[in-house]
């Protein structure tokens, strides 16, 4: 996926920002409301963040929308989380298409309801030509599941003679991940004060910078994103090497 020079990230800014959107339930509980109320508020925070990312000149934004582990939550909350994808696409797809945002959904699509698959196809196809901001939504996604699927693809390619076993390396493996044509994240932001990856982009985040914010996701906005980017610029990235 090429990055047009005229829309490259500003100097010192990360090319790819990934966000674990956490804290919807606590935000709702603080207000005496059900968790589903917090999830709906989280959609508004996502809308603000996508707009801010575009305004700040970011190239890639990946958000963790629904994990493979979320299926273990109570059925009403699972349904509410799934409804958020329906809600976001229905309310924002026209604007995203118009403003140059390319939408991509990664994760395991097996077993998803037909209308969700239709929403995914519609969002991806309608925005396929956009290049201003690449928005990736991880839906029914888990890093371990993604790595397992990539391993199966690699085994199938070896069995079919498309690749020799001795040609398998990190590059060949990464090419079979859901994020094959997306650069690895430079920074992973997690809201709500929790400090763990929760099975998000396990392979891709090997050398990402991590920024953990106390802000609950429904309260997240441009100022929080700018603060995280400022922290990123203060970091010295060595990628395992020694900087003299």
Tell me 7's DSSP state.
G
- Cα within 13 Å of Cα(128), Cβ side: 6
H-type helices in 13-142, by residue range? 24-30, 35-55, 75-98, 114-126
Residues 216, 35: contact at Cβ < 8 Å? Answer: no
22 is an active site residue: yes
Per DSSP, what are the bridge partners of residue 104?
Answer: 136
Give Cα separations from 32 to 29, 56, 83, 87 (angstroms): 5, 35, 22, 23
Residue 236 has φ and ψ, to the nearest 5°, of: -105, 115
Q: What share of the chain is helix, strand, coil (3-state, %, to 5)?
A: 45, 15, 40
User: Three-class SS of residue 45?
Assistant: helix
- Name the catalytic one among 24, 55, 70, 224: 70
Q: Which residues contact 239 (CB under 8 A, 6 or more apart)?
A: 207
Residue 134 has φ and ψ, to the nearest 5°, of: -100, 105
Q: Which residues are catalytic?
A: 22, 70
């Amino acid at each position: 996926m090429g990055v047009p020079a005229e829309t490259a990230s500003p100097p010192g800014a990360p090319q790819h920002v990934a966000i674990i959107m956490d804290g919807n339930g606590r935000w709702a509980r603080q207000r005496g409301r059900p968790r589903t109320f917090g999830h709906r508020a989280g959609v508004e925070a996502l809308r603000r963040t996508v707009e801010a990312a575009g305004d700040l000149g970011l190239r890639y934004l990946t958000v963790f929308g629904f994990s493979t582990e979320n299926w273990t939550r109570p059925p009403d909350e699972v349904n509410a989380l799934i409804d958020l994808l329906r809600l976001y696409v229905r309310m924002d797809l026209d604007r995203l298409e118009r403003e140059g945002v390319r939408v991509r959904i990664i994760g395991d699509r097996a077993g998803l309801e037909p209308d969700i698959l239709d929403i995914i196809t519609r969002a991806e196809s309608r925005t396929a030509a956009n290049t201003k901001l690449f928005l990736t939504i991880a839906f029914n996604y888990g890093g371990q599941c993604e790595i397992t699927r990539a391993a199966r693809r690699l085994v199938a390619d070896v069995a079919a003679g498309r690749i020799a076993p001795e040609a398998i390396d990190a590059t060949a493996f990464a090419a079979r991940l859901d994020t094959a044509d997306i650069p690895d994240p430079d920074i992973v932001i997690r809201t709500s004060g929790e400090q763990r990856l929760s099975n998000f982009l396990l392979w891709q985040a090997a050398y990402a910078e991590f920024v953990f914010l106390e802000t609950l996701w429904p309260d997240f906005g441009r100022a929080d994103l700018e603060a995280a980017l400022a922290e990123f610029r203060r970091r010295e990235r060595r990628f395992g090497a020694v900087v003299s």
